[in-house]
């Protein structure tokens, strides 16, 4: 992608790779340039706009994008009008081509995840065998499998584990019956994870009333700053949603899906029933 925005005047000579970069990397590079031009450290900027140093560092390292309020604070701190805020708005309209690249960075630092999955077990709840079962045909990417397994650790990490609200469609629980051993292990893992105080799992029945989840999978993350980030999937990728209005609408959709789902207790009973009968009844 060619450069879309002009780097501020006076940045010549700084180590800023601007060619062939996407909007997110350009946003991060621009922050670094503005900071270098002002002659301050990351800690100085963080203190100046009243955020944690780790939060600001994440913006320069492309792990996250600041919300509108923080962008306004950055514009004031650097004295660049609405430059940072406008750049963020461009980023929000970008369709992420290498999906999960931007999303995973947010997921790793999120405090809460709300996810609805109509066809598969949510990624953070998957076993290794299940990951391999649903992978694309052909040689499997071992590095990708290892990275996906590492992502599951956010539910059991000692320091502030992710709080998960997962709604799974019944269809995802009975799919891939060609490997009943894998599915039994996967369903047993769901029951094990549901015993954690930070994990809540519900199921929507296939005969449930019409609900927004029929339009596809969705994820809503709550950041350390208590703002929300959304993610919706498509055939060849996904879209990161950071606009406040859109993330609010996505959160509302999730709540509507939960409204037609079974209670947590009934959901776990259904998962246990499917697990116990999976060998005997392929359409239970």
Q: pLDDT by residue (tens digit) across 47-93?
A: 999 999 888 988 888 777 788 899 999 999 999 888 898 888 877 66
Write out the two tokens for 276: 């116990």
pTM (two decimals): 0.65
Contact predicate 118/169, CB 8 Å:
yes
What is residue 74's predicted lDDT score, i.e. its pLDDT? 96
Residue 279's CB is within 10 A of a number of other CB atoms, namely 13
Helix (H) or strand (E) holding 230: strand 228-234
The segments of the chain whose pLDDT lies below 70 read 1-23, 92-102, 137, 176-177, 234-237, 279-284
Cα 24 to Cα 108: distance, rounded to the nearest angstrom: 17
Contact predicate 118/51, CB 8 Å:
no
Write out the two tokens for 168: 């799974």
């Amino acid at each position: 992608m060619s450069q879309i925005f002009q780097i501020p005047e006076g940045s010549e000579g700084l180590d800023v790779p601007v060619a062939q970069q996407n909007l997110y990397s350009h946003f991060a590079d621009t922050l670094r340039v503005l900071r270098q031009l002002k002659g301050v450290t990351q800690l100085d900027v963080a203190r100046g706009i009243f955020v944690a140093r780790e939060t600001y560092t994440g913006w320069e390292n492309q792990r996250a994008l600041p919300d509108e309020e923080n962008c306004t604070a950055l514009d004031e701190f650097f004295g660049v009008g609405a430059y940072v805020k406008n750049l963020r708005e461009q980023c929000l309209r970008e369709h992420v081509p290498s999906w999960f690249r931007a999303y995973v960075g947010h997921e790793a630092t999120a405090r809460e995840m709300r996810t609805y999955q109509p066809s598969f077990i949510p990624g953070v709840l998957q076993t290794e065998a299940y990951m391999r079962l649903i992978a694309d045909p052909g040689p499997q990417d071992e590095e990708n499998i290892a990275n996906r397994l590492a992502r599951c650790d956010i539910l059991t990490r000692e320091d502030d584990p992710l709080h998960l609200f997962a709604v799974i469609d019944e269809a995802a629980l009975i799919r891939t019956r060609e490997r009943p051993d894998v599915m039994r292990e996967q369903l047993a893992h769901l029951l094990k994870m549901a015993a954690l105080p930070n994990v809540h799992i519900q199921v929507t029945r296939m005969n449930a009333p019409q609900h927004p989840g029929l339009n596809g999978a969705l994820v809503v993350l709550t950041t350390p700053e208590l703002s929300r980030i959304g993610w919706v999937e498509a055939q060849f990728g996904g879209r990161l949603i950071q606009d406040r209005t859109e993330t609010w609408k996505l959160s509302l959709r999730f709540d509507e899906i939960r409204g037609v789902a079974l209670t947590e207790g009934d959901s776990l009973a259904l998962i246990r029933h499917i697990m116990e009968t999976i060998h005997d009844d392929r359409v239970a």
